[in-house]
């Protein structure tokens, strides 16, 4: 039995051969500071963010799709995998995604974290390739396919043909950057101190990148920066859109740069077929239309974009079976 892992900045997903996706949990670990003992992982630990006493710390041990705290990631992975992997012989082979442009040291950290579970071998594959596979694209033909994977910590854009990557670029910005910008905005414009979980909730609820006819709002709860007392502020979707736009512009610039470096024949294929958007950030309303209007090219959002990478890793299992 083989396993595929999408070890993301915000979510960790597992795929088991013949079973499909079996786990989708927050990439968070909570531990006792004094004893250095894990208390909770995944979604349970996520609910503890910003609410723990001094004796407990709840953290995202993966920053910008790169392992920041290796021991914490190892413990988190071991607990999560054991929740769903019931094999008596714990020596599976594993396919795992990695962002483009990471160093050999960062690749080794991913391998070490996964190997701690007791696997036979770890196969690393770039996330743009598995995202394309998960979206159902035929990457083996002599035809250009452009995929943009929009994640929490990084965003990657790549052009694939004949099973390989012709051009690929990654920037360390994404959904988390939008959350950080919103936290800063609320303090600067409204004098309200909030945490990233509240910012993310607002983004998911009313976040959009195109104007809407009927305005909608969201009540943001936090602490008054001056009095220190609890307070709330009602924000509009238009207000949130302005905050999200800065990161969106960075991502569109990334896509434009990749297209400019792509061979002309492949650009022709992309112009005909359009760009495929994957990743959780692709679910923000209007992001595909904003990219299409700015670059004057067709854009298609994959079905269940947040699952494309893990499903692509699952499909890659068939290829390692031949090795």
* Helix, strand or coil, per DSSP, at residue 4: strand
State the average pLDDT over residues 310-315. Answer: 96
Give the mean model confidence (pLDDT) for residues 53-72.
93
Q: Where in the chain is the domain with CATH 3.30.420.40?
A: 3-129+309-320, 137-301
Arithmetic mean of pLDDT, 76-86: 87
Query: What average pLDDT is seen over the chain?
Result: 94
pLDDT at residue 87 is higher than 70: no
Higher pLDDT, 54 or 319: 54
User: 3-129+309-320 domain in CATH 3.40.50.20?
Assistant: no
With cut-offs at 50, 70 and 90, classify the pLDDT of residue 64: confident
Kindly indicate the confidence band of residue 88, based on its pLDDT and cuts at 50, 70 and 90: low
Q: What's the pLDDT score for residue 192?
A: 98
Residue 49 has pLDDT above 90, yes or no: yes
Nearest CA to 150 out of 240, 248, 259 is that of 248
Q: CA–CA separation, 81 vs 12, rounded Å?
A: 10
Please report the pLDDT score of residue 213 as a whole number.
Answer: 84
Among 321, 279, 289, CA closest to 135: 279
Integer CA distances (angstroms), 297 to 82, 245, 256, 303, in order: 44, 19, 11, 19
- In whole angstroms, how far apart are CA 253 and each of 70, 217, 247, 295? 32, 29, 10, 10
pLDDT at 90: 61
Domain covering 137-301, topology? Nucleotidyltransferase; domain 5 (3.30.420)
Give the pLDDT score at 173: 95
Give Cα separations from 294 to 175, 210, 266 (angstroms): 20, 12, 20
What distance in Å separates the CA atoms of residue 286 and residue 116, rounded to the nearest whole number? 41
Q: Which residue has the tokens 């998960």?
A: 134
Q: Does residue 146 surpass a pLDDT of 90? A: yes
Residues 271, 297 contacting (CB under 8 angstroms): yes
Pairing of strands 3-7, 93-98: parallel
Residue 73, Ramachandran bin (φ over 0: left; ψ between -120 and 50: alpha; else beta): alpha
Tell me the backbone φ, ψ of residue 74, rounded to 5 degrees.
-60, -45
User: Between these two residues, 88 and 76, which has the higher pLDDT value?
Assistant: 76
User: Given a cut of 90, is residue 320 above it in pLDDT?
Assistant: no
Q: Say which range, 49-58, 76-85, 141-150, 153-162, has the weakest mean pLDDT.
A: 76-85
């Amino acid at each position: 039995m083989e396993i595929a892992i999408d070890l993301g900045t915000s979510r960790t997903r597992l795929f088991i051969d013949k079973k499909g996706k079996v786990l989708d949990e927050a990439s968070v670990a909570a531990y006792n500071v004094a004893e250095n003992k894990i208390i909770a992982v995944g979604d349970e630990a996520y609910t503890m963010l910003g609410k723990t006493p001094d004796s407990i710390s709840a953290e995202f041990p993966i920053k910008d799709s790169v392992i920041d705290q290796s021991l914490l990631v190892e413990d988190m992975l071991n607990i999560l995998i054991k929740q769903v992997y019931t094999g008596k012989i714990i020596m599976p082979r594993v396919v795992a995604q990695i962002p483009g442009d990471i160093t050999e040291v960062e690749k080794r950290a991913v391998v070490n974290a996964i190997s701690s579970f007791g696997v036979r071998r770890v196969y690393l594959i770039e996330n743009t390739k598995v995202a394309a596979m998960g979206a159902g694209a035929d990457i083996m033909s002599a035809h250009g396919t452009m995929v943009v994977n929009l994640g929490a910590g990084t965003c990657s854009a790549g052009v694939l043909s004949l099973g390989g990557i012709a051009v690929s670029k990654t920037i360390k910005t994404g959904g988390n950057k939008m959350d950080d910008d919103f936290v800063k905005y609320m303090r600067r414009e409204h004098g309200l101190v909030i945490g990233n979980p509240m910012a993310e909730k607002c983004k998911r609820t009313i976040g959009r990148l195109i104007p809407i006819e009927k305005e909608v709002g969201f009540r943001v709860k936090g602490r008054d920066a001056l009095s220190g007392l609890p307070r709330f502020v009602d924000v509009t979707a238009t207000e949130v859109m302005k905050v999200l736009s800065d990161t969106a512009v960075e991502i569109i610039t990334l896509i434009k740069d990749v297209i400019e470096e792509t061979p002309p024949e492949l650009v022709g294929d992309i112009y005909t077929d359009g760009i495929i958007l994957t990743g959780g950030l692709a679910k923000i309303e209007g992001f595909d239309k904003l990219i299409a209007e700015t670059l004057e090219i067709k854009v298609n959002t994959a079905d269940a974009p947040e699952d494309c990478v893990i499903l692509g890793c699952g499909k890659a299992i068939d290829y390692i079976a031949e090795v």
